[in-house]
Each structure stands twice: as structure tokens, then as C-alpha cells.
């Protein structure tokens, strides 16, 4: 029973999957143990895969840290260190911490938003219909000029004076 060409993955899909697999430190160790990082044709293939760094291709990656690993694999010392279990553990932990950091930042931001919303809900609201609630509308405005010799404060803004202001004011602009 043969598969049709439609059932087989495309070259693009195969390369996408392979590039993303580079984010798996255990897979990197496996490749190193099999000697792939010493094979010149495999190193050329890794170099070819750098096109995934272009935004038009990178947008399809689920694990973008694979691009950083792809860059590091261009370095011989990095390729040799992959066989060191301590090195791969540190690499794995660093990658995990990098992935957790945005989650913590998002959670902290959500917590700040919740606190701000709660703080706002506890603030008194100004309502003209309830005279017992404190209102900023009846607060006197301080004198505009600090060296003004007038001891009479400006008139207070009251609900009645606000109601007397026309709802819409139109200004005729000159035609250019």
C-alpha cells in the first residue's frame, strides 16, 4: 500500500520540525553522540537552515529559542560541549527559566491590574443625586496666580453652574 504525495510532509514541514527539534537538549545530545556535529555535510545543512531566522519564516516557529540554538551550533566549542551532561543541564535550565520569565511578568501585570481595579472600586464616587457622598464638583479651585493679593477664592463649581453650560459648543473654523 503506497501513500499519495498529499499524505507525505513537504520539505518545508520537515525542515520546520527539524529546526524546532533543536530546542530539545536531549535531541542535541543524541545528535552529538551519533557524531552528526562532526559531519561536514550536516554542518552545511545546519548553516543552510539559517533562513529560518528571517521573519517571514520565523513566524511559523512555536519554539523560537531553537533559532538561538541554531546560531550556537555554528560554534565548534558549543557542539563539543553538548556531550557534557552538566552543560546540557545548565542549557536546559536556562531555556526553562527564559520561558517562565514572560509568564511571571504577565502574572505580575495582571495582579497590578487587579489591585488597581480594586483600588478604584473603593474610591468614593461623585453623584449629584446623593448629597451625602463627597463630591469634587463642590470643591473650590485654588487661585490661578500664587502672588495674587485677592483673598477671595474663585467661585465654587456647583451642579447648577455645570448644568448651565451649553451641552455643545460649535466654533466656526475658517475655510482654508
Q: Specify burial of residue 57 (Cβ count, 10 A radius: 0-12, 13-18, 19+).
A: middle
Q: Which ranges of 34-84 does DSSP label H, i.e. alpha helix?
A: 40-48, 55-58, 65-72, 76-81
Question: What's residue 100's pLDDT?
Answer: 73
Report the CATH number at residue 54: 1.10.10.1340
* Residue pLDDT, tens place only, 49-84: 999 999 999 999 998 889 999 999 999 999 999 999
pLDDT at 10 over 50: yes
75 within some domain:
yes
The three cell numbers locating residue 64: 523560537
Average pLDDT for the chain: 76
109 within some domain:
yes
Question: What's residue 2's pLDDT?
Answer: 61
Instruction: Give mean pLDDT, residues 118-139.
Output: 57
The three cell numbers locating residue 28: 542535541
Residue that has been written with the C-alpha cell 531555556 in this structure: 95
176 within some domain:
no
Question: What's residue 3's pLDDT?
Answer: 66
Name the residue with higher pLDDT: 3 or 77. Answer: 77
89 within some domain:
yes
Number of domains in the chain: 1
Name the residue with higher pLDDT: 11 or 148. Answer: 11
* Residue pLDDT, tens place only, 139-174: 444 444 444 454 555 555 555 554 555 544 444 444
- The rounded distance, in Å, linking the Cα atoms of 154 and 157 is 9
Give the pLDDT band of residue 122 (cuts 50, 70, 90).
confident
Q: What percent of the chain has pLDDT over 90?
A: 45
The whole domain housing 93 covers 11-120
Mean pLDDT lowest among 10-14, 114-118, 133-137, 149-153? 133-137
Question: What's residue 139's pLDDT?
Answer: 41
Question: What's residue 145's pLDDT?
Answer: 46
Amino acid at each position: 500500500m503506497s501513500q499519495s504525495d498529499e499524505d507525505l510532509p513537504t520539505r518545508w514541514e520537515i525542515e520546520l520540525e527539524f529546526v524546532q527539534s533543536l530546542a530539545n537538549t536531549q535531541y542535541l545530545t543524541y545528535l552529538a553522540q551519533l557524531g552528526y556535529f562532526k559531519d561536514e555535510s550536516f554542518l552545511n545543512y545546519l548553516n543552510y537552515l539559517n533562513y529560518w531566522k528571517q521573519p517571514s519564516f520565523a513566524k511559523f516557529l512555536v519554539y523560537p529559542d531553537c533559532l538561538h540554538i541554531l546560531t550556537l551550533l555554528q560554534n565548534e566549542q558549543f557542539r563539543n560541549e553538548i556531550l557534557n551532561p552538566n552543560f546540557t543541564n545548565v542549557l536546559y535550565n536556562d531555556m526553562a527559566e527564559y520561558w517562565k520569565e514572560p509568564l511571571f511578568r504577565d502574572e505580575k501585570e495582571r495582579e497590578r491590574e487587579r489591585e488597581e481595579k480594586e483600588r478604584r472600586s473603593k474610591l468614593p464616587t461623585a453623584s449629584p443625586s446623593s448629597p451625602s457622598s463627597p463630591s469634587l464638583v463642590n470643591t473650590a479651585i485654588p487661585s490661578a496666580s500664587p502672588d495674587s493679593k485677592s483673598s477671595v477664592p474663585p467661585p465654587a463649581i456647583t451642579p447648577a453652574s455645570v448644568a448651565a453650560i451649553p451641552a455643545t459648543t460649535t466654533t466656526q473654523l475658517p475655510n482654508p
